[in-house]
Structure 1
Amino acid sequence: MSEATLTTGGTQGAAIRLERALPDPPTVVWRALTEREQLKAWFPCDVIVDGGRWEPGAGLSFVFGAEADGLIMKGEVLEAREPESLAFTWGEETLRFTLSPQGTGTLLVLVDELRPGIAARNAAGWEGCLELLAGGTRDKDTWRPLFERYTALFSPTLGEQEGPPAGME
Structure 2
Amino acid sequence: MDSRRGSVFGTEDGRVAIRFVRLVPHPPEQVWRAITDPAQLAEWFPAVVELDRPAGSELFFGVTEQQRQRFGMADDPAGTPNGRMLRNEPPSVLEYEWAGEILTWKITGTAGGSRLVFTNVLTDPEAGAPAAAGWEAGLEVVEAQLDGKPVTWNPLDRAEELAALYTG
Corresponding position: 1:74 with 2:82 = yes
CA contact (8 A) 2:35 2:142 kept: no
Q: Say if 1:124 and 1:143, in contact at 8 Å, map to a contact too.
A: yes
Task: Determine the structure 1 residue equivalent to 2:53.
Answer: 54
Q: Identify, as 1 or 2, the structure richer in strand.
A: 1
Q: Report the Cα offset of residue 12 of structure 1.
A: 6.1
Moved more, 40-49 or 125-134: 40-49
Q: Does 1:124 align with 2:133?
A: yes
Q: Please list the CA deviations of residues 71-106 of structure 1 after superposition, one character each: whole Å capped at 9, or x if unmatched.
A: 357210001111111100111211000101122421
Within 2, Cα distance between the matches of 1:116 and 1:104?
A: 36
Q: Give the gaps of 5 or more residues in structure 1.
A: 153-169
Any residues of structure 2 matched to 1:26-65 within 5 Å, and which? 26-49=28-51, 53-64=52-63, 65=65
- In 2, the alpha carbon distance for the partners of 1:128 and 1:83 equals 23
Instruction: Please point out which of 87, 93, 118 is paired with 1:85.
Output: 93
Figure out how many residues of one structure are paired with residues of the other and give that number.
149
1:95 aligns with 2:99: no
One-letter amino acid of the counterpart of residue 118, structure 1 = A
Identity of aligned residues (%): 30
**CA deviation vs aligned residue, 1:88-144 (integer Å, no higher than 9, x gap):** 011121100010112242111110000211000100000010000001634444323
Q: Aligned partner of 1:125: which letter?
A: G
Q: Does residue 108 of structure 2 align to residue 108 of structure 1?
A: no
| Contiguous gaps of at least 5 residues in structure 2 | none
Whole-angstrom distance in 1 between the partners of 2:90 and 2:158? 33
Which of 110, 132, 143 is the matching residue for 2:159? Answer: 143
Q: Which amino acid aligns with 2:133?
A: A
Q: What is the CA–CA distance in structure 2 between the aligned matches of 1:10 and 1:77, rounded to whole Å?
A: 23
Q: Distance in 2 between matches of 1:48 and 1:83?
A: 16
Cα offset for 1:56? 0.9
Partner SS for 2:119: strand
State the TM-score, normalizing by the size of structure 1: 0.78
Aligned-residue offset at 1:4:
0.8
- Equivalent AA in structure 2 for residue 151 of structure 1: T
1:146/1:102 CA distance change after superposition, 3 Å: same
Pair 106,144 (structure 1): closer, same or farther in 2 beyond 3 Å: same
Q: Once superposed, which parts of structure 1, at least 4 consecutive aligned residues long, lie more than 6 Å away?
A: none
